[in-house]
Amino acid sequence: MSSARATSSPPPLIELQGVTKVYGHGQAAMVALHGIDFRIGRGEFVAVMGPSGSGKSTCMNILGCLDTPTGGRFLFEGVDVGRLTRDQRALLRRHYLGFVFQGFNLLNRTSALENVELPLIYRGIPARPRHHAARRALAAVGLSDWERHSPGELSGGQQQRVAIARAIVTRPAVLLADEPTGNLDSARSVEIMELLTAFNRDQDITILMVTHDPEMAAYAGRQIHFRDGRILADADGKERQ
Amino acid sequence: MLWETILLSLRAIRRNALRSSLTVLGIVIGVAAVITLVTLGSGATAKVTADIAAMGSNMLQVRPGQVFGGPGGARLSTVPFESADAVAIAREIPGLRAVAPVSSRSAQAIYGNSNWATTATGSTNAYLEVRDWPLAMGRPFTDGEVRAGQAVCILGHTVHRELFSGDDPLGATIRLGKIAFKVVGVLAAKGLSSFGTDQDDVVLIPLRTLQRRITGRTDVGTIMVSAADGDSTAKVQADLTRLMRERRRIGLDQEDDFTVRDMQEIVATLTGTTRVLTALLGAVAAVSLLVGGIGIMNIMLVSVTERTREIGTRLAIGALERDVLLQFMVEAVVLASLGGLCGIALGLAGAALGTRLLDVPFVFSPGIVAAAFLFSGAVGVIFGFFPARQAARLDPIEALRHE
Ligand SMILES: Nc1ncnc2c1ncn2[C@@H]1O[C@H](COP(=O)(O)OP(=O)(O)OP(=O)(O)O)[C@@H](O)[C@H]1O
Ligand SMILES: [Mg+2]
C-alpha cells in the first residue's frame, strides 16, 4: 500500500484487516473471529450469512464501534477506530451509524415515538423537527398507529420495526442490522427489505445486514458467508454459488 | 439538552412514583424538620423579645441580696431597701425616666360574694411609667393618696374580671384581707409574662398603704428604674451600683449585697438560649438530611444496575459519557429538589401548626427556606455523582449484554 495510491484514491468506507476477536483468557479463551478481511464501499448493500455462533454478531459489534477487535485493524473511512477514544467512538456512532440490534434493545416503559426520537436527541435536534422525523420513520415501518405504545405493549415484530425506525431515523451513513427481519412474517419482511433497498438506492445509505433467510439475502448486492469465525465466501448476488 | 434531560428524569421519577417518594422521604423529613424547628425557634425568640419589650426593655431592677446562679438562684438575706433609697436614686442619677419602689404581698381580694387570691403590689404612679402600663379606666393615684397612704387601689385586668365580672368597679369598695379599699382605676390587660405568670393578676395600692396597713414594715422589695429613651442601660446600671454601694457603705474589698438586673441583659440571655437551641435542632435536622442523601445514593445505585441495558442502549446510540453522567446527576438532583420542595411545604405547615399550639408568632424566614432548598439540591449533586459516574463508565457492549 504505497502512500501515492492512498492519496490518489479515497479509502473504502469500511475496511477490516485481519480482525480477530477472542473472548475470555487462558484456558477459557474462545476465538470468535479468526482474522477477517474485507472492504465495503460506499453505497453497498451487503448480506452477512452463516450458521449460529459463526461470529456474525461479534463482527457487527466491531463494525458498530461497540466492541474493539483483539487483533487486526478496523478502518472507517481510513481512520483506525482502534486508536479512537471512547467518546470519539461514541460520536462516530452518533453521527454515522445506525444499529438494529439482534435483541432490539428498546427502552422499556418508553413510547415507540420516544424510542425513535432518542438518537435525534443525542444529535441535538430540536423538539419539533425531531417529532416530525420520528413520526415519518415510524410511518415508514408501518407503525403510525402505535406511536404511543411502549415496547411492552407491542408484539415482537412490532418491536423489531420500532428498532428499525430508530436506526434509520437519523439517515446514517452506514446501517448495521442484526437480523432485522428475524421476527417478521414473510409479507412484513418483504416490506422491510423493500424499505431498506429504497434507503440504499435513494439515500446512498450503506447497509450491512445479518440474515439467515436466503430470500432476504437476495435483496443485497453482495453476500458474505461466515463459518467458525472465518469468511467462507464473499460474492455479489449475481454470481453466488 | 438540559431541559430534555430534566423532562426525561421527571418521567423516570414518575414511572417509579412509589420508589421515588420512599427514596426522598429522608430528604423530606430532614428539610421539614429544619424548616419547622427554625421557624418555631425564631417565633419563640420573637415572642420572648416582644414580651420583654412589653415589660419595659429599658427597665432595670435593683434588689437587695446577691443572686447566685442566675435568676431564681440562692439569695443571701441582707439589709432591705427603704423608700429613701428610691428617692436618692431619683435625685442622684441623671437620665432616668422614672423610679418606682415596689413591694408585694399575697392577699385575698373580696367583693360581695366574690373572693380572689391575688397579689397586692405597693408602689407609686412611677410604677405605671416604668412598666409602661396604661390604665383601661379610672385614674392613677393622687399625690395625696400616695403620701398619706390612703386605702385606694387600681385593679389588674384579671382581678377586675374575677370580682366584678366586667361590671364598672370605679368607686366600689373591695377588701384586701380585713382592710377596705376604694377602686379608683383599672389597668389595661398585659397578658402572660415570658415566664408564664399572669401579669394582670394584681391589685395596685400606694406603697405606704401596703407598708402601714398590710405588712407593717417599711421595707421596699425592689426598686424599678426606667432609663430615658436612648440612654444606655449599661451606664445607668453602673451609676446605680456605685450609688447603692455608697449608701450601703460597702467597702472596696467587699462584694455587692444587692443586685442590679438589666432587662436587656435578660433579653440577650433568653434569645441567646433559644438561638443555641435552634442551632442544635438545626444540626440534628442536617444529620437527617445527610441520611436522606445516603438513601438517594443507594437508590440511584440500584437504579443504575437495573437500567444497565438502557444505559448500554443509550451509549450504543451515541450518548457520550457525560450525557449519561448528566442524565443520572439531573435525576438525583431533581429527585432531591422535589423532596426539598415537599419538605419545605410540610415544614411550613408543621411550623404553622406548631406556632398555633405554642402560641408564638409565625416568623417566615425566606433565607432558611432557600438554604434548605439549595441544600437538598446539593445533597442530590453530592450523592448522585458516584452512581452517575458508575453509569457513565459502563462499557456499552457489556451493558447491552446485561440481563
Ligand atoms: N460476550 C461473550 N463472551 C464469550 N463468548 C462470546 C461472547 N459473545 C459471543 N461469544 C461467542 O462467540 C461466538 C460467536 O458469537 P456471535 O454472537 O458472533 O454468533 P452469531 O453468528 O451472531 O450467532 P447467531 O446467529 O446465533 O446470532 C459464539 O461461539 C459465542 O459463544
Ligand atoms: Mg448474532
Query: pLDDT tens digits for B257-293?
Result: 888 888 777 777 777 777 787 778 778 777 877 888 8
Q: How many helices (H) and strands (E) does chain A have?
A: 8, 10
| Closest by CA position to B149, among listed B233, B81, B205 | B205
> Average pLDDT in the A183-200 region?
88
Which grid coordinates are listed for A228? 467458525
CB B141 within 8 A of CB B121: no
Residue B272's contacts (CB-CB under 8 Å, 6 or more residues apart) are: none
pLDDT greater than 90 at residue B131: no
What phi and psi, each to the nearest 5 degrees, are found at residue B148?
A: -85, -10
pLDDT of residue A169: 95
Choose the closest CB to A93 out of B4, B312, B318.
Answer: B318
CB B101 within 8 A of CB B197: no
Q: Which residues from A are below 8 Å from B314, CB to CB? A: 118, 122
> Average pLDDT in the A20-38 region?
92
Looking at this predicted complex, what is its ipTM? 0.90
CB B258 within 8 A of CB B249: no
pLDDT of residue B203: 95
User: B158: how many CB neighbours lie within 10 A of its CB?
Assistant: 19
pLDDT of residue A7: 55
> Average pLDDT in the B299-319 region?
90
Ligand 1 mutation target, pool A22, A23, A216, most atoms within 8 A of CB: A23
pLDDT of residue A193: 92
Q: Is residue B76 very low, low, confident or very high in pLDDT (cuts 50, 70, 90)? A: low
pLDDT of residue A240: 37
pLDDT of residue A241: 38
Domain boundaries, chain B: 2-51+268-401, 79-256
| Residue with grid cell 484456558, as numbered in its chain | A27
pTM to 2 decimal places: 0.71
State if residue A235 touches ligand 1 by the CB under 6 angstroms criterion. no
Atom of ligand 1 nearest to the CA of A58: 18
Q: Is residue B54 very low, low, confident or very high in pLDDT (cuts 50, 70, 90)? A: low
Q: Is residue B322 very low, low, confident or very high in pLDDT (cuts 50, 70, 90)? A: very high
Domain boundaries, chain A: 14-233
CA distance B221 to A157: 98
Which grid coordinates are listed for B377? 439540591
pLDDT greater than 50 at residue A97: yes
CA distance B54 to B222: 19
Choose the closest CB to A66 out of B316, B321, B323.
Answer: B316
What phi and psi, each to the nearest 5 degrees, are found at residue B255?
A: -75, 155
Q: How many helices (H) and strands (E) does chain B have?
A: 13, 12
What is the overall mean pLDDT for chain B?
86
Q: Helices (DSSP H) in A53-206: which residue ranges?
A: 56-63, 86-96, 112-122, 127-140, 156-168, 186-202
pLDDT greater than 70 at residue B68: no
pLDDT of residue B57: 65
Ligand 1 mutation target, pool A30, A31, A102, A104, most atoms within 8 A of CB: A30
Chain B contact present for A84, CB below 8 A: no
Q: Which residues from A are below 8 Å from B319, CB to CB? A: 90, 94, 122
pLDDT of residue B262: 81
Name which CATH class applies to A14-233.
alpha beta
How near does any CA of chain A get to the CA of B29, in Å?
30
8 Å CB contact of A87 and B396 = no
pLDDT greater than 60 at residue B40: yes
pLDDT of residue A3: 46
Q: Using CB atoms and an 8 Å cut-off, which of residues 310-339 of chain B contact chain A?
A: 310, 312-321, 323
| C-alpha neighbours within 13 Å on the C-beta side of residue B81 | 29
pLDDT greater than 80 at residue A239: no
What is the overall mean pLDDT for chain A?
90
> Average pLDDT in the B153-170 region?
91
Higher pLDDT, B203 or B196: B203
CA distance A15 to A197: 22
Rounded to the nearest angstrom, the gap between the alpha carbon of residue A168 and the centroid of all alpha carbons in its chain is 10
Higher pLDDT, A181 or A241: A181
8 Å CB contact of B320 and A87 = yes
pLDDT greater than 60 at residue A1: no
> Average pLDDT in the B329-335 region?
90
> Average pLDDT in the B229-236 region?
76
